[in-house]
Amino acid sequence: MLATNTAPQTSNSFRPAFTRLRVLILDDSELDRLRLIRMCDRAGIAVETVEASDLKTFSDALDQSAFDLVFVDYLLAEETGLQAVEVLRSRIDPASCAVIMLVGVGRIQTAVEAIRKGCSDYLLKEELTTATLRHSVDAAIEQLCSQREASKESTLDAALERTVGQNLNKFSRSMRSLLSTTLLRTARARESTMPKQDNIDQIEDDCFKILKVLSDFHADTVSLLERSARRRLPKGPGV
């Protein structure tokens, strides 16, 4: 079974990117899924939910949409929540969504295994309250934001490295060409019958071209490094 539900808009403390969370709930109990949705509403967590009752509908949901948060019940009719987490993490980068495992009392070892497999947190179903739910979701989303920021930084750093490398290759080719031309003209000038001033003018022109290439390369590199430094500056409130 795959069902979609949108909870009423409520105020929450999440970052702007998460005004409303896109949530996937895997639980073979329809009553437990409904209970979790209602508790999210009472906890002030604005959600748009998709429900799955087994691993097949869970996998289908992952194929059809992207989610900010996934709740996974450990004890399913024919599978376990750990299997679901393995399926999710084999398809989705940890920076894409947070995962919270729902386990029964007495399954702490299962909860530890869930964290090891990539869950952000776990909740005991028998002790679930709006307060514990809110705390767990807040922590999971905060962790997700950090992971997304780190992933973004890594992507930008890789792009910066590629750009600097491309500029360096371009610079090297230009310098080799200009220096070769200048050296050739210098050699010819020694044997030339042309007036010395003409030879000097040609060599001087080549030197100015070399200086321009050096200046452009320096300016491009400084600009890239400044952009990288600005990204790493601490962001002020509301940024």
Predicted local distance difference test score (pLDDT) of residue 25: 97
Two tokens at 100?
């919270």
Q: Which CATH class is domain 2-150?
A: alpha beta
Task: Report the chain's mean pLDDT, rounded to a whole number.
Answer: 78
For 49, counting Cβ atoms within 10 Å of its Cβ (0-12 exposed, 13-18 middle, 19+ buried), the class is buried
- pTM (two decimals): 0.60
Residue with tokens 């808009």: 9
Question: Residue 103 and residue 109: Cα distance in Å, rounded?
Answer: 10
Predicted local distance difference test score (pLDDT) of residue 97: 87
Confidence bin at 1 (pLDDT 50/70/90): low
Angle 228-211-217 (CA atoms, 0-180°, nearest 5)? 20
- Mean pLDDT for the stretch of residues 199-210: 72
For 180, counting Cβ atoms within 10 Å of its Cβ (0-12 exposed, 13-18 middle, 19+ buried), the class is exposed
Task: Give domain limits for the chain.
Answer: 2-150, 151-232
Residue-wise pLDDT tens digits, 36-84? 999 999 999 999 999 999 999 999 999 999 999 999 999 898 889 999 9
Which of 101-110, 151-160, 175-184, 220-229 is least confident? Answer: 151-160
- 105 SS3 class: coil
What residues form DSSP beta bridges with 134? none
Q: Is it the case that residue 100 has pLDDT exceeding 90? A: yes
Predicted local distance difference test score (pLDDT) of residue 11: 44
Strand 21-26 and strand 69-73: the pairing is parallel
Predicted local distance difference test score (pLDDT) of residue 15: 46
